[in-house]
């Protein structure tokens, strides 16, 4: 089980300072969609150059021209690129094809997918690397989470790794770990903590214990 830090509401300099605090406790740094929209792929490039020991995920949430976007993100140092599960099949296949060429990985985000079970089966057949259940900010605000969705995709996904994002904090982490995702994505649970290093360390510790168990 790996830990990914999601950085959505920061600029590149703030991202560097944050990652520097927690770098010993995380596996992947996610340059979130808002950051990419505001600062471009330069943000991905700078974080990868500053922390070459970590994997960097470019959260592009691609919907179209997927092969091209994956290529550009790869050139900027991204190890993993996201595409939306609601995108066309051909777009997802194009993303996978380009990622394989570049030696990179594709994470498909199931945000807004209605039939999660069926789509997860299809995505698994396309050869994507990660399938992620995700409760976005706007649904978190009304008390939703993705924990049941994780169990749903765990039942049907045979090849891809499973991931979960959205509202995961220390108090909800045990429930997530119980379902054994391959990747746990935490944003505010770390970035909103007073002591970010301590929060990341504790989350890492629980994940490691959960992996062993």
103-158 tens-digit pLDDT:
999 999 999 999 999 999 999 999 999 999 987 667 766 677 678 899 999 999 99
Chain centroid to Cα 211, Å, comes to: 18
CATH C-level class of 2-212: alpha beta
156 Cβ contact list (under 8 Å, min separation 6): 117, 120, 121, 124
pTM: 0.95
Q: 110: which DSSP letter?
A: -
pLDDT less than 70: residues of the chain: 136-137, 140-142, 145, 212-213
Name the average pLDDT for the chain: 94
Tokens 């974080």, located at residue = 47
Short-list 107, 130, 122, 8, CA closest to 61: 107
pLDDT of residue 148: 87
């Amino acid at each position: 089980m790996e830990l990914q830090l999601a950085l959505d509401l920061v600029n590149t300099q703030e991202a560097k300072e944050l990652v520097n605090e927690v770098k010993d406790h995380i596996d992947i740094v996610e340059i979130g969609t808002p950051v990419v929209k505001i600062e471009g792929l330069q943000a991905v490039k700078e974080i990868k150059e500053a922390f070459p020991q970590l994997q960097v995920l470019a959260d592009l949430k691609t919907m179209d021209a997927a092969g091209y976007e994956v290529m550009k993100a790869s050139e900027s140092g991204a190890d993993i690129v996201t595409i939306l599960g609601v995108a066309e099949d051909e777009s997802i296949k194009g993303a996978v094809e380009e990622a394989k060429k570049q030696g990179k990985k594709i994470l498909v985000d199931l945000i807004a997918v209605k039939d999660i079970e069926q789509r997860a089966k299809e995505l698994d057949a396309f050869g994507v690397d990660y399938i992620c259940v995700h409760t976005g900010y706007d649904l978190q605000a009304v008390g939703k989470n993705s924990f049941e969705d994780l169990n749903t995709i765990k039942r049907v996904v045979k090849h891809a790794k499973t991931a979960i994002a959205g509202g995961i904090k220390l108090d909800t982490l045990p429930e997530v770990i119980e379902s054994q995702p391959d990747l746990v994505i935490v944003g505010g649970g770390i970035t909103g903590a007073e002591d970010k290093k301590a929060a990341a360390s504790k989350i890492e510790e629980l994940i490691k214990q959960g992996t062993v168990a």
